[in-house]
Chain A
Amino acid sequence: MAKALLQLIQLEFPDAVLETHSQHGDDTVVVDPGAWKAVARFCKDQLAMEMLADLTCVDWPHREPRFDVVAHLHSLSKGQRLRLKARVGDAEGEHAAIDSLTELWASANWAEREAWDMFGVVFTDHPDLRRILTYPEFVGHALRKDYPADRIQPLVPYREVENIEKLPPFDHHEGMSFGRQTHLASRGDD
């Protein structure tokens, strides 16, 4: 049933659809980021996807383009789900830009702000692209794999007391079966 949706999108956008897959009931279309908004508009108007359930991002640090922008669409009237993906950004995470979907679904507003806050993907034509979870003073994007796992950016300076910087006992020699892993350390193991 839902594979028909994939075929409809492929027929409408033969050049923009990079790949499709459908497994375990999840139907996914990977589209060219340039056609992102057009495909989304087609899904909303022609395929009755009234609801944008979620919009988020995935970081693949060893891949280029680096980020997957993922939109989960849901048709309330037809009871169908569809997932759109687009790949943006170079290896350093720069030039990650894609059209905003706020014009189509109002729920994209906060979701895109979160994706920008956490991953640094710019949503062009977004009406209010500010940080939503972290604070304006925050530098960098926290859910990128190359954001250091132990980097904190306190708003209040820590008290000047002995041993105040000591972190929780999270290392091998401190009784935990796992240690703090960073992206750079794991990259060396590959």
Chain B
Amino acid sequence: MGELKAPTTQEVLETGQGQGFATTKFEDLLAWAQKYSLFMYPFVTACCGMEFMSVSGPRFDHSRFGAEVPRFTPRQSDLLWVVGTIVQRQAPVLKRIYEQMAEPKWVLAFGTCASVGGFYDNYACVAGIDKIIPADVYIPGCPPRPEAVLDGLLLLQDKIQSGDRRPGIVKPRFDPVARPDMGVVQLRRSKHG
């Protein structure tokens, strides 16, 4: 039986063998830790909540990206998921929740209503949460596909890693018009046209 002996730090440095190590900057290490431990506050107000459940469920499962733990107090969360329409009457609540979150904090606008208000262009609704609080990632869709939500989450993680606080929008994975084989319904002007 050979003798088991862990190499000393001096040996590792001199020979480049053994357990190994990596060098990085502290900010990068911190950002890496932050992007994989996003504690979310689900501010779920409307029908997008059904899709949110789908993303949270085992089929799509955003916990694979280290972002699953819901905290129902803003003081323990650092990612605010705004899922659904925000009405004017609710706006002070949303703003207060956002203000109660500790820095660093990020905001995800889930769906068209939270992003721009959608077709709720009326007296009651806030046309996008960015009128009240800054949003980091906008996910379009009514509701968005779970894949789009995962894209948005990965986009946010990229932004956290690179320290980019400019808002980002999730792009579609392909142009449906350019992919008729995907089974997208083609609009026709007339039956005999």
Contacts and interface: CB of A to CB of B under 8 A. Distances in A.
A153 B88 contact: yes
Contact of A164 (B92, B121, B122, B131): B131
Tell which of B117, B124, B133 has the most Cβ of chain A within 10 Å: B124
B123 interface: yes
A159 B132 contact: yes
B91 A154 contact: yes
Contacts of B124: 133-134, 142
Given A156-B95, A159-B132, A168-B117, A149 B122 contact: yes
Contacts of A154: 88, 91, 126, 131
B134 A168 contact: no
A167 interface: yes
B123 A152 contact: yes
Contacts, number: 51
Interface residues of B, number: 20
B89 interface: yes
A155 B92 contact: yes
Interface residues of A, number: 21
Is chain A's binding surface mostly helix, strand, loop or mixed?
Answer: loop
Contacts of B118: 168
Contacts of A167: 121, 127
Contacts of A149: 121-122
25 contacts: A133-B124, A134-B88, A134-B124, A142-B123, A142-B124, A149-B121, A149-B122, A151-B123, A152-B88, A152-B123, A153-B88, A153-B123, A154-B91, A154-B126, A155-B88, A155-B91, A156-B91, A156-B95, A156-B132, A158-B132, A159-B130, A159-B133, A161-B130, A168-B116, A168-B117
Interface of B: 88-89, 91-92, 95, 116-119, 121-124, 126-127, 130-134
